[in-house]
Amino acid sequence: MIPLFKPYMPELKKIEEILYSGKLTSGFYRNGFEHKLKDFFRTDRYITANTFSNAIYVTLTALGIGAGDEIIASPMACLVSTQPYLTMGIKIIWADVDPLTGTLDPDNVRKKITPKTKAIVHNHFCGYPGYLSEINSIGYEKGIFIINDCIEAFGSESDDKLIGLDGADASVFSFGPVRIPNTIDGGGVIFKDHDIYKKSILIRDCGIDRTLFRDELGEINPECDINLKGYSAMMNEVNAYIGFCQMDVTNKLLNAQRKNALIWDSFLLENAIGIPIARKNTKPNYWIYGMRVKNKRKTIETFRDQGYYASGVHVNNNIYSVFGDDSYLSGVVEFNNSFVAVPCGWWLNSDG
């Protein structure tokens, strides 16, 4: 059966050299991976982290968001995207989604804002861009941070701009096993504000300023103060090398997925199985190909019978008691009951 997800792995000619180099962290490839990411996004405010969760923690700490604060988020997201906020002691207020796209409904977001709201976390469901200009405008108007949850949206575009360059205060990316690019595990963040970006570099390394941390003998310098809370979140050389190599083919893989999406567009048009998830002026990365159907279970079974591993991918997080909010959200229910994804990855034609 053609899988819905499949990790890409390039030839890794120097992996053994790195493993036995004695330099497994903070070396050439972490810096090189970050430089390639900065070139891809044409920004100088991109950092990497060793996990997606740590990328979120660094982001929240850099923005000054913590225990007792509230954030507004979509329950139509991966648990990896939502659980970190709970572990920081942040209260999540669920907002409804547009039932046609699975992304945040700007009008409903407005209704959820309280004096405790510090950020809106904007998930771009399965790589399909949400209402970026509308959500970003709310943040600007209300003085609330906007955090793009780009766990599945690397390379997705809206209004001819890559998500991450749209004006959000921070955009958090995953480099997990089934992402493009993947580093087996890892994450990254683009910050809008240069000072917050510089602050985040210290936060991801236990608050340490490496230019001052050691003296001329290489000993820890007691005069180097640590005045920021931080994390051990630096990406190691092995993971960074994998990402470094993948950046050379990232556009090729994204283009292959978009070509596959055109084939699915024609298939749905000819067979009237479902309605593709689509919005004007957006360009998904087609991590998966999404559609809305009348009978979700039957459609999944039909595609699987034909050799395509179809799935609903995620379930709405407000069903989980850990979040303490099982509010009924009509758009979420409608979307979750109708959404089906089929494989659209770079491997589709070669396996099919």
- What are the sequence ranges of the domains in the chain? 15-246, 250-351
pLDDT at position 350 is 52
**Residue entry with tokens 């920081």:** 88
Tell me the HSE value of 156 on the side-chain side, using a 13 A CA sphere: 30
Query: Which pair of tokens denotes residue 53?
Result: 């969760």
* 257 and 345 Cβ atoms separated by less than 8 Å: yes
Strand partners of residue 94: 73
What contacts 190, CB < 8 A, 6 or more positions away?
41, 43, 45, 46, 164, 165, 170, 171, 173
250-351 classified as CATH 3.40.50.300? no
Angle at 304 between CA 279 and CA 302, to 5 degrees: 75
The pLDDT averaged over each successive group of 10 residues in the chain (352 residues) is 96 95 90 98 98 98 97 97 97 97 98 97 98 98 98 97 96 97 98 98 96 94 95 97 97 97 95 94 97 98 97 97 94 98 90 41
pLDDT at position 351 is 44
SS3 string of the chain? CECCCCCCCCCCCCHHHHHCCCCCECCHHHHHHHHHHHHHHCCCCEEEECCHHHHHHHHHHHHCCCCCCEEEECCCCCHHHHHHHHHCCCEEEECCECCCCCCECHHHHHHHCCCCEEEEEEECHHHCCCCHHHHHHHHHHHCCEEEEEECCCCCCEECCEECCCCCCCEEEEECCCCCCCCCCCCEEEEECCHHHHHHHHHHCECCCCCCCCECCCCCECCCCCCCCCCCECCCEHHHHHHHHHHCCCHHHHHHHHHHHHHHHHHHHHHHCCCEECCCCCEECCCCCEEEECCCHHHHHHHHHHCCECCECCCCCHHHCHHHCCCCCCHHHHHHHHHEEEECCCCCHHHHC
Q: What's the pTM?
A: 0.96
Sign of CA dihedral 173, 176, 178, 183: positive
Query: Which CATH number is 15-246's, of 3.20.20.150, 3.30.465.10, 3.40.640.10, 3.40.50.720?
Result: 3.40.640.10
Tell which residue, 279, 285, 335, 317, has the closest CA to residue 133.
Answer: 279
pLDDT at position 352 is 38
Decide if 15-246 and 250-351 have a common fold.
no
Whole-angstrom distance, CA of residue 316 vs CA of residue 166: 26
Tell which residue, 184, 178, 189, has the closest CA to residue 152.
Answer: 178
* Per-residue exposure over 105-139, b if at least 16 CB sit within 10 Å of its own CB, e if not: bbebbbebbeeebbbbbbbbbbbbbbbbeebbebb
